Structure 1
């Protein structure tokens, strides 16, 4: 089964635009989980423009209570750059998974994967420290074969594919999307041979998910912006249900 982890950054962005606690991040997260999502993802940036440090810990407590009450195994995924700041946050919050993402100052959103030919040494040190705390580590990557050949030497448990190029091609036409998907399929087959888990995320939606969900070895998709945008039309619970249905139509 491919798990859907919903990124709630946009809920925090809306809340922060007015101050106060509307919308309530925890209440929306509960609706997301009641609709069937398997996890919650946050990306607490240094400028706290959406998820704040306190949100990270509030969600941790909320998910613990939710799992105990409902006898579930909802996963908590925290994304962020390899830095002392993020390392301290992860080691204190102890999520189920930490996803390391390269961050460019001033970027609107994550728009590229790691270049391991340049960043492997420093990245490996962060991975070791996080794993020593019993936390699974995923690293944000593109499909470049030379880079992927270096993943095993970092010690990462999983790769999260940056799916922006696929989604944007699919927006133009399904046929263009299929051509880009082929590069992901080849990359996934390589990672499977290496016994490295596969996650994916960025602009996946109900239209491009059925094809992408057929990716060999895909274990989890992390989706925020497009799901939340769709939720403005149909409601958050309906949006989650539609995305889950799209994932189940893999092929």
Structure 2
């Protein structure tokens, strides 16, 4: 089964736009989990434009209580740039997984993976420190095969594919989406051969997931923006269930 981790950044964005605690991040996260999601993802950026430092720890405590009450193992995934700021946050909050993502100052959202010819040495240092704390590490990557061959040098446990190109091709037509999927399939086969786990995320939705869920070795997808957009139409619980249906 491919796991669905729901990114709740957009809930925090809406809350922050007005101040106060509406919508309540923890309450909405509970609705998401009650609908069947397997995990919660946050990307606490330095400017705190959505997830704040306090949210990181509030969600950690909420998930600890939820898992204990339900007898489940809901995973907590934190995304962020390789920096001392994010490292300190990860080591303090101790999520189940840390996903390292390259960040360009001023960007609206993450829109590219690491270039390991430049980044592998620095990444390896951060990865070792995070893994030493018992936390699984994933790194955000595109599908270039030569670049992916360097993943093993970093020591990362998993790769999270940046799926924007696939999603945007699928938006144009399912046929174009199918063609774009082929590069992900070849990339996934390489990672599977090297025993590196596979996650994916960015603009995946209930239309393009049925095809993408066939990706060899796919273990988890992290989805926020499109799921939340769909939730405005049909409600958060129905949206999560639709995505789970499309995924599996």
Same fold (TM over 0.5): yes
**1:7 aligns to 2:7 (yes or no):** yes
Distance in 2 (alpha carbons) for counterparts of 1:94 and 1:118: 28
Deviation at 1:190, TM superposition (A): 0.4
The runs of at least 4 consecutive aligned structure 1 residues that moved more than 3 Å come to: none
Which residue does the alignment assign to 1:69? 69
Which residue does the alignment assign to 1:157? 157
Deviation at 1:217, TM superposition (A): 0.2
- TM-score, with length taken from structure 2: 1.00
Deviation at 1:15, TM superposition (A): 0.0
Distance in 2 (alpha carbons) for counterparts of 1:149 and 1:214: 22
Q: Secondary structure at the match of 1:242?
A: helix
Which residue does the alignment assign to 1:112? 112
**1:166 aligns to 2:193 (yes or no):** no
Q: Secondary structure at the match of 1:105?
A: coil
**1:211 aligns to 2:211 (yes or no):** yes
* Structure 1: runs of 5 or more not aligned: none
Distance in 2 (alpha carbons) for counterparts of 1:67 and 1:26: 14
**1:96 aligns to 2:84 (yes or no):** no
**1:48 aligns to 2:48 (yes or no):** yes
1:217-249 per-residue CA deviation (whole Å, 9 max, x = no partner) reads: 00000000000000000000000000000001x
1:64-84 per-residue CA deviation (whole Å, 9 max, x = no partner) reads: 000000000000000000000
Q: Secondary structure at the match of 2:86?
A: helix
Which residue does the alignment assign to 1:222? 222
Deviation at 1:212, TM superposition (A): 0.1
- TM-score, with length taken from structure 1: 0.99
Which residue does the alignment assign to 1:144? 144
Deviation at 1:85, TM superposition (A): 0.1
Which residue does the alignment assign to 2:85? 85
Distance in 2 (alpha carbons) for counterparts of 1:34 and 1:164: 28
Distance in 1 (alpha carbons) for counterparts of 2:136 and 2:130: 8
Distance in 2 (alpha carbons) for counterparts of 1:236 and 1:100: 27
